[in-house]
Amino acid sequence: MIRRFQAHSAFVVSSFDISTLNHNSSKTNVLTRRKTWPATALLLEALTAEQLMEAASQAEKHQPITDPAIRELLKGVARIASTVSGSDERKSYMLAQLKSSIVHFGCPIIYLTINPHERYSPVALFYAGEDIDIRKFQPKWYSLSQRLKRTLNNPLAVVEYFHNMITAIIENVLKDGIFGDVNHYYATIEYQGRGTPHMHLAVSIICNAFNLINLYTALD
């Protein structure tokens, strides 16, 4: 069923929206089952439009919110939003994670940007549904514009290609010790102007003479 609709221009966005809605509903249900929820519910039910407008005015002026009911509401929203991909609260949570990992594992010494170029890869065309033999593929069979059209018309294929390539690089290159023994790594995914993803990766390795020699050799 997914393969049937994956080339639709709205497929990825709709899937993300449905997934987010389901996630938020699940987290909200968990929140309302807490022992403190009855007291919180009374506060929220008593909220008025004037209180919300006053809180909005304070936020617009970068002033602290003084209304306890509004603060409780925002606390619940932030608790749920911190687990939602792409939200400001999630980004703030990830920043805290990265800082904590630096304190625990030490400062990363390798920073990588990984951008698997789907426009030049026969694997991406294969994921997009093209009937090709990857082992016998000839680049001249598809012009750059044809490759770009095939991949952009099938956004899920680009996501699959990116996910599998990134997984292969991390598992078979990074963890395999090309830079030395990996102590910890932290990565974030961003989307470029043309709508394709790339990854920023901060890597901490176990610092000893052997690893530093391997690192110097790999980067030379």
Residue 181 has pLDDT above 50, yes or no: yes
Two tokens at 27? 């987290």
Provide the total of helices (H) and of strands (E) in the chain, helices listed first: 10, 3
- pLDDT tens sequence across 57-116: 998 888 888 888 888 888 877 877 777 777 777 888 888 888 898 888 888 888 888 887
Q: What is the pLDDT of residue 1?
A: 44
CB atoms within 10 A of CB 47: 15
Residue 144 neighbours by CB under 8 Å, 6+ apart: 119
pLDDT band for 216, please (50, 70, 90 cuts): low
Average pLDDT on 198-204 reads 87
Residues 6+ apart with CB under 8 A from 181: 205, 206, 211
The pLDDT assigned to 103 comes to 87
- The answer to whether 44 and 104 have CB atoms below 8 angstroms apart is no
> Has residue 209 got a pLDDT over 70?
no
pLDDT tens digits along 129-160: 777 776 777 767 777 677 776 777 777 777 88
Residue 18, pLDDT score = 84
